[in-house]
């Protein structure tokens, strides 16, 4: 019972992080769900070994629902810059399929450490490279131009592979990317939600379909690697968190918004190391 209470609290926080930081919930859900799955596995070595895959797969499915609803909220408030959005969407989806397949064939411990290392690199990059904590542009009405189609394809594929493999959505990459194109934190985090949708859809489909053939026998109700009980609980809590956070959209000072974003990345990284 305590385990599910913790998941309920985490799901509310995931909803808040989705609306305000574009995380899609993965940064909150994956670390906790990983430890929950390890605890529930007990002496089942196969289930314990698949704990990270289950956490990632379940998180990706939750991501589809939460990111879609957050996109709708931000679109109503005019925070979605479509011309910066569409060039990346297709390539992110292609990369997401590759990332989901990769996550199912590598050891769970490798995925976990890849998660930690990527967070560390991102935190250092955000702190040291100009343009994230304090925007380097005077106005977001003229953001940096969209890069070439080749560069866009490379960026989109990379975002999709990493996000789907780690179950964290694309915000860890798309928020810094949009920020350095001259967009405010409100718009940058809003843009992370529609860019997370192709990750969630492509990744969820891959985990559900391919997982039916490759997932070991797991305790509880599962579809492939997806824990259906945890999915239902996490979606319900995320909806509550999103409703609670909605009044704060656009009201957090830009620099403080960026600082909180980096701090949350650090907290999640430390949580995965414990």
Is the pLDDT reported for residue 67 higher than 80? yes
Give the position of tokens 């579809």: 223
pLDDT at residue 159 in the model: 83
Encode burial over 236-262: b for 16+ CB neighbours within 10 A, e otherwise.
ebbbebbeebbeebbebebeebbbebb
The Cα diameter of the chain in Å comes to: 58
Q: Could you tell me if 169 and 25 are in contact, meaning their C-beta atoms sit under 8 angstroms apart? A: yes
Residue 205 CA to residue 57 CA, distance in Å, equals: 10
CA distance 268 to 24: 14
Total Cβ atoms within 10 A of residue 28:
29
State how far the Cα of 202 lies from the Cα of 64, in Å rounded to an integer.
10
Q: Is the pTM of this model over 0.85?
A: no
Model pLDDT for residues 80-115, shown as the tens digit of each residue: 887 777 777 888 888 888 887 887 777 667 777 877
Which runs of E-coded beta strand occur in the chain?
A: 222-223, 226-227
Q: What is the spatial distance between Cα 212 and Cα 257, in angstroms, rounded to a whole number?
A: 41
- Quick: pLDDT tens for 196-225: 888 788 878 877 877 777 666 777 788 888
């Amino acid at each position: 019972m305590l385990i599910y209470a913790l998941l309920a609290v985490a799901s509310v926080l995931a909803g808040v992080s989705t609306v305000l930081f574009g995380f899609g919930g993965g940064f909150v859900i994956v670390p906790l769900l990983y430890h929950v799955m390890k605890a529930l596995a007990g002496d089942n070595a196969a289930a314990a070994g698949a704990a990270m895959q289950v956490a990632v797969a379940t998180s990706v499915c939750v991501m589809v629902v939460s990111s879609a609803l957050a996109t709708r909220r931000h679109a109503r408030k005019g925070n979605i810059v479509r011309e910066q959005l569409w060039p990346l969407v297709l390539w992110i989806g292609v990369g997401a399929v590759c990332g989901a397949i990769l996550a199912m064939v590598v050891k769970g411990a490798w995925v976990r450490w890849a998660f930690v290392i990527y967070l560390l690199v991102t935190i250092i990059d955000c702190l040291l490279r100009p343009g994230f904590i304090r925007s380097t542009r005077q106005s977001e009405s003229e953001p940096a131009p969209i890069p070439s189609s080749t560069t866009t394809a490379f960026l989109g594929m990379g975002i999709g592979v990493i996000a789907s493999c780690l179950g964290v959505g694309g915000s860890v990459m798309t928020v810094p990317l949009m920020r350095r194109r001259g967009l405010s934190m409100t718009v940058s985090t809003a843009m992370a939600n529609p860019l997370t949708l192709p990750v969630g859809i492509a990744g969820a489909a891959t985990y559900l379909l391919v997982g039916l053939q490759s997932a070991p026998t797991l305790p509880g109700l599962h579809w492939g690697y997806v824990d259906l009980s945890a999915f239902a609980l996490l979606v319900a809590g995320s909806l509550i968190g999103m409703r609670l956070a909605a009044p704060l959209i656009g009201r957090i000072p830009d620099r403080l918004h960026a600082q909180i974003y980096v701090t949350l990345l650090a907290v999640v990284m430390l949580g995965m190391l414990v």
